[in-house]
Structure 1
Amino acid sequence: MTETAATFNALFSPSSVAVIGASDNPNKVGGRPIHYLRAFGYTGEVFPVNPGREVIQGYRAYPDLGAIGKAPDAVVIAVSGDATLEQVRQCGAAGVKAAVIMASGFAETGEAGRQRQQELGALANASGMRLVGPNAQGTANFASGAVLNFSTMFMEVAPQDGPIAIISQSGAASVMPYALLRQAGYGVRYLVATGNDADLDACAMTAAVAADPDVRLILVYLESVSDPAQLARAAEAARARGASIVAIKAGNSQRGAKAAASHTGALVGNDAAIDAFLARHGIWRARDIGELVRAVPLYLQQRHPAQGRTVVMSHSGAVGVMAADLAERHNLPLTELQPATLRELGAILPAFGTASNPLDMTAALLGKGDMFARVLQALGADPQADMVMVGIPVAGPGYDVETLARDAAAFSAHQAKPLVVSAPQQSVREVFVRHGVPAFVTEADAIAALAQYAAHHRLAEVATVTETAPAWPEAQRLDGSGLQDEAHSLALLAEAGVPIVPHHPCDSVDAAVAAFDALGGVPVVVKGCAADVPHKSEHGLVHLRLTDAASVARAAHDCLDTLQRLGVASPRVVVATMVKGRHEFALGVSVDPVFGPLVMIGEGGTLLELRKDVVTLLAPFTAADVKAACARLRLAPLFDGYRDIPALDLDAMASSAVALGDWALRHRTALASVDINPLMVMAAGEGVMAVDAVVELKGN
């Protein structure tokens, strides 16, 4: 057994557990783990440590760890923050493998607490002991009964082993999904709340539970991502055996980020970078706890959603209409059924029914007992029907719900296609659930679950395999720091492999006129060039469509004069060819300290920040990755041509984005950001061209 495996075995399946700060009262933090170990079937040794008691909850108590006479596999430290450091020192000296630290008052409280947390980690590291916490609610393996956790939720909602793991940096965010899952009848194997992540963090815990072949779904709550590589390996291990990871990454708003920092003492990171990272590794990002657990029954069934083409069927036309609207809102395609399927459905359904998608079986469902099964059989034979949503808004006397549920379960099992039901009546849902059919209260819930499951499946299919992902190149230097002027910025982009506009930097009117002649006398633009004045148009420093030497001279004179009045020490202008593209895009880079360079692609021009039609990718990536990301833009139809606009050169834009991402990766320690706006994109086959850019360097 490896050292890492031994650590997690000590936490999840320990042969012995000590609780320091043990209480005879099961309602106290130091008493709950002891109560849970006895109540939930733990068969190992339990050593309560409390110098004031001889017996605690039926177990012999010990005055200190040394009095036990052996090193427990795992220790729960349930004393105050001030006493925790000494207990960690004693645990390390005794040879304890792993400890759960419940005390708060560390990095989440500020700089002094952060220093104390570092001391805690150093003590553990010196002895080889691993820590969960501090500020941790604790760990739980409900299969072994090793519940080293102080949550009261397990008293309210009894645990049951199952194929789900919950990993959270927050105690409350671990037990909220637990409660929802248990109340819905789903078992949970692991529940871990890591707190401040001083040592064993949420990423490491996710990797640990991903190695369990019985876990099919991992739900994660994160406020920071301290070890992206570990989380990437966890995602790959899960995908390799068909398991899924759904994660909430909180702290994406300004107030949320501030609250997250004070909650666990961790930096929340660049939200766009985190979004791109999770997507790259096939991890679905949920917006809230409801979305975290919404599609659980579909994940556990592991039916293949194929392309996600969905059929909606109901005995209510209204449900079908609403479901169709919801499907469009969630970008869930309603399939076009094959002609043969439509003919067969026409023969099955009454004349006043609707055989097209969405299907309206009408109230005839009451009188035709086999109609539902026959409709499902017809859909099962259609290769364009990937998933089915069945709406049952009302079912009373005359509706054989038992048979409907049996038929639905048989269809899903035989066809291996996802099928869900929406039914407001709890009694109806209970029948379907008993037969293993996912059932939701409303069609909105059902459609949202199908959409999430299908989209997540597509995400996982194209996820990066970390073992074969290229290693980051050695970082290279770049001379300079701060904002670079346009001329130097364009030169850097040319070095990166991004096509740039023909141009000349000039420090005099005569040089500007000479540049105009050198460019062939074509229409040009004259722009002020100064790193201190990045927003040129606000100061009248952009002169467009100049076609003669005199107008170029006047523009250059005005720009140089304005720059001098603005206090620019060595004013220059750029004389560049006027470029007219089919559409203006923006291409940019920001370098995240955790995830590395993040490349942004979106609609360019002056409305970039207003429209916010952008996608992001983490470097390195491929041209195929760029094209897949650009398909998510609202302006994506332009790439194939729209009305009188010819198709755009997506290949050239993808090549430029890849080149920029690779260059940013090579210079990640020196580069702060890149802003290319606009990147002129021509018609297909005609290329792209960066016509304005600002590069910011942070030095080496």
Structure 2
Amino acid sequence: MTCNKTGGLASALSPSSIAIVGASNDRNKVGGRPVDYLRRFGYRGKIYPVNPGRETVQGLRCYPSIAALPEAPQMAIIAVAGEAVAESVRDCATKGVGTAVILSSGFAETGARGLELQDELVQVAARAGMRLVGPNSQGLANFCTGAVANFSTMFTQVPPEDGPVAIVSQSGATSAALYSFLRERGVGVRYVLATGNEADLSVPELTLSVVQDPEVRLVVLYMESIRNPGLLAEAAAIARARGVPMLALKAGRSPGGTAAARSHTGALVNDDAVVDAFLERHAIWRAPDVASIVLATELYLAPRAAPGRRLVVISNSGSSCVMSADVADELGLELATLSPQARAKIGESLASFATSANPIDLTTALLGNSGCIGEVLEAVEEDPQVEVVLVSLPVAGEGYDLERIAADVAAFEARAGKTVIVTATLPSILEPFRARGLVSFTTERQALIALDQVTRHLRLMRDPSPAAAVGPAEPLRLPAGPERFLDESCSLAFLASQQVPVVEHELCMDAEQAVAAWRRFDSPVAVKACSEELLHKSEHGLVFLDCRTEGEVRKAWEACVRGMEKLEIPARGVIVARMARGRREFAIGARFDKDFGPVIMIGDGGKYIEALPDFCLLVPPFTLRDARRALQRLRVAPLFAGVRGEPPMDLNALCELGVRVGELMRRAEGSVASIDLNPVLLGSEGEGALVVDALIERGPFPYSDSLPGP
């Protein structure tokens, strides 16, 4: 592979000279291992050990200080402890070092005092224009150039090999685990980058550089928090355009995980549901664990065209056929319906008691005729329904010509251009298949879960990015006022001015106006107290529904006025609204997240929304298709099409309203903190959606260029 320049940060990823502060003769010490690795893994730049107590280190001339070096190295590895760290950073800044990699711990991960010390390092570096990695970092490694500024033991236990994978991780241990698992499967890794506490350089910024390396074909991330989400979005856009999948293992889902993350790297953990929405919006696959990443990697890197979801299962075990069919059904993978011509050809190759339907059970035919798999593959080669072939060999050993079987399978994949996946229980059975570059697993379930992940991820990457169709947003501002919240009447009026469908209503200042409004509506009405300080009217008994007579309207109006007086809040009036009907109540919410910008919630509504949450989150801009796909994941989704003779609900109208609210939040640029629309009444198809109640909160957040763009 060719060592290409990345999109920046050359002093961090491809330095031409490296100093090691705290260099040691002992290869098993933190200060000794980088010296050993640089020499062992072919680094061709200049190596400058720094240690005032030695004249040589591992056969290299050693210098007493950074100041004594003959030049300013592009990178300095700092492997000293205590107060010597700050002194070394100052020396590096004075010398003109480009990037300092701080392996030392004892900073933000230890608490407030450690954070203060870390901030001091950042200030020193920033004044000199020097970048920092860490502290508490395991270091950086570029196996193309041999610039291995890292002390992980894994590089000695599992020898490196340059390859198409980049690993960027906050955690050094996780980066090493990912590296070792991938290398054990024969996958080459170019970058292993561990950012530690991320005092300066973060996972997103390093990712933005490595995705611009044309030899990188897969990027794997581990994050405990997401700093600079705008940079991660930019990196994802570049990766998407290049067809490079990005997978993220984002820790800190649980309260316990959140607490552990803070003590591990000093991370401030992001709202997990928002992280999910952000990653999906940018086609970054969120993996549940290390194993799911490792198992799917070879399928991501397979040289064939992107695999499909229609598969044929071929096995010499009937039980494997049955279990594969069960897992495929569970994952929504389709067993291809073979053409009559294909089935006839298969029948000619197998015994009369074998199965020519999909899954194809070879029975004992393979033991007596090792060429029968090749014959079956020829039969399905021209069938357009077949996109993927799973070859399962739970039993194969003496008596089976595995070399011939593997050669036939590899020849079919090359000839037909269809993805082939092989499963077998023993490594010795898989060896001839792996030697020919075929993707392999030890169980059918592993294989099909990986296929499901890869196909869904690649489909997400192929979806047109909504940002491509979005022009500059015309700024949106709320009506001027000192109040934090707009009252319901102002909220509804503002939404109506933005073409959001709202319930017909009138703000009434006395009982006579309320009765007049009821008469004009000529229908039952809802009567509600209205104040910018009344956020939950129903909890105070200040919502009266289905008022049908003048007496009921007057009584409700008086109760609203008395209730606001009792709560000692300013009364803006009383809302009289036409009672509206719909098939079901939904809710649309929006908030401006300080890290990720606008986030939109669409879900089942009504008064039990907090007790029985059923919602999806989306990051704007998003399309009707994005909203519809997200809504299909709700528990109430089966109701959308109608049940027991009901007509379908107007799902398009709900999606259109969600997209419109997303656009409002995007245009508000942080001047709107939140929007709460609950309930939103959804009618049958063609009847639309109607906002019945609304609350808008002014935003304290000025628009920031660091937030993710479209």
- SS of 2:690's equivalent in the other structure is strand
Match in the other structure for 1:511: 513
Which of 500, 503, 506 is equivalent to 2:502?
Answer: 500
Name the CA distance, whole Å, in 2 between partners of 1:433 and 1:207: 32
Residue correspondence of structure 1 range 433-444 to structure 2 within 5 A: 433-444=434-445
Name the CA distance, whole Å, in 1 between partners of 2:582 and 2:386: 41
Match in the other structure for 2:300: 299
Q: Does the 8 Å contact 2:467/2:621 carry over to 1?
A: no
Q: Does the 8 Å contact 1:165/1:219 carry over to 2?
A: yes
Letter of the 2:441 counterpart: F
Name the CA distance, whole Å, in 1 between partners of 2:7 and 2:617: 39
Structure 1: 5+ residue stretches without partners:
none
- SS of 1:376's equivalent in the other structure is helix
- SS of 2:528's equivalent in the other structure is strand
Return the TM-score normalized by structure 2. 0.91
Q: Does the 8 Å contact 1:19/1:30 carry over to 2?
A: yes
**CA apart distance, 1:619:** 1.5
Q: Does the 8 Å contact 1:140/1:192 carry over to 2?
A: yes
Residue correspondence of structure 1 range 618-697 to structure 2 within 5 A: 618-697=619-698
**CA apart distance, 1:563:** 4.2
Residue correspondence of structure 1 range 187-586 to structure 2 within 5 A: 187-305=188-306, 307-462=308-463, 464=465, 470-471=471-472, 474=475, 476-477=477-478, 479-519=481-521, 521-570=522-571, 572-586=573-587
Report Cα offsets for 1:3-32 as digits up to 9, x if no partner: x96963333333321101111111111111
Letter of the 1:513 counterpart: V
Return the TM-score normalized by structure 1. 0.93
Match in the other structure for 2:87: 86
- SS of 1:275's equivalent in the other structure is helix
Match in the other structure for 1:174: 175
Which shows bigger deviation, 164-173 or 658-667? 658-667
Letter of the 1:591 counterpart: F
Pair 379,555 (structure 1): closer, same or farther in 2 beyond 3 Å: farther
Report Cα offsets for 1:218-272 as digits up to 9, x if no partner: 1111122222232223223323333221111111222222322332233222222
**CA apart distance, 1:181:** 0.9
Name the CA distance, whole Å, in 2 between partners of 1:516 and 1:548: 9
Name the CA distance, whole Å, in 2 between partners of 1:473 and 1:21: 55
Pair 1:28-2:29 in alignment: yes
Pair 85,439 (structure 1): closer, same or farther in 2 beyond 3 Å: same
- SS of 2:465's equivalent in the other structure is coil
Pair 7,685 (structure 1): closer, same or farther in 2 beyond 3 Å: closer
Pair 20,409 (structure 1): closer, same or farther in 2 beyond 3 Å: same
Name the CA distance, whole Å, in 1 between partners of 2:612 and 2:304: 38
Report Cα offsets for 1:88-125 as digits up to 9, x if no partner: 22222222222211122333333433333333223222
Q: Does the 8 Å contact 2:75/2:98 carry over to 1?
A: yes
Report Cα offsets for 1:31-55 as digits up to 9, x if no partner: 1101111222222221111111111
Pair 471,275 (structure 1): closer, same or farther in 2 beyond 3 Å: farther
Report Cα offsets for 1:187-228 as digits up to 9, x if no partner: 211111011222222112112221222221111111222222
Which shows bigger deviation, 155-164 or 627-636? 627-636
Letter of the 1:452 counterpart: Q
Name the CA distance, whole Å, in 2 between partners of 1:371 and 1:5: 48
- SS of 2:364's equivalent in the other structure is helix
Name the CA distance, whole Å, in 2 between partners of 1:105 and 1:527: 57
Pair 1:16-2:24 in alignment: no
Letter of the 2:21 counterpart: I
Name the CA distance, whole Å, in 1 between partners of 2:392 and 2:20: 52
Q: Does the 8 Å contact 1:305/1:386 carry over to 2?
A: no
Pair 407,483 (structure 1): closer, same or farther in 2 beyond 3 Å: farther
Percent identity over paired residues: 46
Q: Does the 8 Å contact 2:141/2:148 carry over to 1?
A: yes
Name the CA distance, whole Å, in 2 between partners of 1:347 and 1:576: 75
Give the aligned length.
Answer: 696
Pair 318,45 (structure 1): closer, same or farther in 2 beyond 3 Å: same
Q: Does the 8 Å contact 1:493/1:660 carry over to 2?
A: no
Which shows bigger deviation, 252-261 or 167-176? 252-261
CA RMSD of aligned residues (A): 2.6
Name the CA distance, whole Å, in 2 between partners of 1:585 and 1:466: 27
Q: Does the 8 Å contact 2:6/2:213 carry over to 1?
A: no
Match in the other structure for 2:48: 47
**CA apart distance, 1:486:** 2.9
Name the CA distance, whole Å, in 2 between partners of 1:333 and 1:153: 40
Name the CA distance, whole Å, in 1 between partners of 2:604 and 2:343: 42
Report Cα offsets for 1:659-690 as digits up to 9, x if no partner: 11111122242322222222112222221101
Letter of the 1:303 counterpart: R
- SS of 2:378's equivalent in the other structure is helix
Match in the other structure for 2:704: none
Match in the other structure for 2:135: 134
